[in-house]
Amino acid sequence: MGLKHSSSLFLFILFIFFFLSSQVCSQACLKTCGQIPIKYPLGTGSGCGDSRFTRYIKCDPDQQTLTLTTHTGCYPITSVDYTKQIIYVTDSSMSTCACTRPSQGFGLDWDAPFSFHDDTVFTLLDCSVDESPVFKPLSNSTGRVSLCDRQSSSICNFLYSNCRAISLINLQESTCCVYVPLDLGPSFEMDLQKLRCSSYSGFYNLGPAQESHPENWNYGIALKYKFNVFDEYPAVCGGCERSNGACGYNTQTSSFVCNCPGGINTTSDCFFLYNSASILLPWISTGAWMIYPLSWVVSWTVMSLP
């Protein structure tokens, strides 16, 4: 009888391991996208990262590119500074010192979980002096006054004098308007058609001693994000990432889950994978995966045997 019980127990455990190997797949939430590491609150698809970011940031598995999508277009993410909580994106229609091209502008959705970083500066190019709202008519109708940042007028001077592509626009420097994202208003909308401008340029962190060298400026858009209202990093997520997991969420309940190597989700971390005294089994009533001490499994199996 003892031999029969031992054989049955062995077969049961063997079945469990075969069942696990056939049911789990590769980790659903990727740890990298191309050359960019992925950490909370960013994710690579549905169920990964923070649910508030899912509709805006995705990873293309074929091109291995991380992108930001807003109502104005889709923009590649060039890098992420997780320490400073900054996302850097680029716009292919943006004018730079190397190339000037027409653009539709750039805008953020009003409910997006990020906003423009203070280092981001925009420059409107080729604006109509007579029709653009950035040039406000004087009350005595004797002319127009620019609503642009006059203290940053040197930026326009350097763009026109040191960038051949921009100088070829062949317009007066007054049509170059420098302003910070705050001037876009609460909607964070830069509609070049309404502004009556044909192009724009965005940059951040000009770099030390680089103000007069626009060819070396960091062209793009810097966006800052918060973890939540109080901007607190979730402690449970930290434990998940330290155990080589990826922070995610249940797509049905939006509750936190830790996505572990092997495609297994838990509500804590992935340390159980390195604990030989535990085993992961399917919970038949819900289909979820549960962690059980191996001693429990053996005891339960023996008790269940005839």
Q: What integer pLDDT is reported at residue 39 of this predicted model?
A: 94
CB 22 within 8 A of CB 282: no
Number of domain units in the chain: 1
CA 302 vs CA 5, 297, 299: distances in Å: 7, 9, 5
Q: Is 2 part of a structural domain of the chain?
A: no
Q: What integer pLDDT is reported at residue 187 of this predicted model?
A: 52
Q: Is 7 part of a structural domain of the chain?
A: no
Q: Is 70 part of a structural domain of the chain?
A: no
The rounded distance, in Å, linking the Cα atoms of 244 and 67 is 24
Q: Is 175 part of a structural domain of the chain?
A: yes
Q: Is 66 part of a structural domain of the chain?
A: no
Domain that residue 198 falls in: 86-225
Taking the chain (306 residues) in consecutive chunks of 10 residues, what is each chunk's mean pLDDT? Answer: 52 47 56 93 92 92 89 94 96 89 86 87 84 76 70 79 77 66 59 86 78 87 90 91 92 90 86 60 42 44 48
Q: Is 31 part of a structural domain of the chain?
A: no
Q: What integer pLDDT is reported at residue 147 of this predicted model?
A: 72
Q: What integer pLDDT is reported at residue 275 of this predicted model?
A: 60
Q: Is 63 part of a structural domain of the chain?
A: no
C-beta neighbour count of 59 within 10 angstroms:
23
Q: What integer pLDDT is reported at residue 224 of this predicted model?
A: 94
Interaxial angle between packed helices 294-304 and 2-23, expressed in degrees from 0 to 180 and rounded to the nearest 10: 130
Q: What integer pLDDT is reported at residue 82 of this predicted model?
A: 95
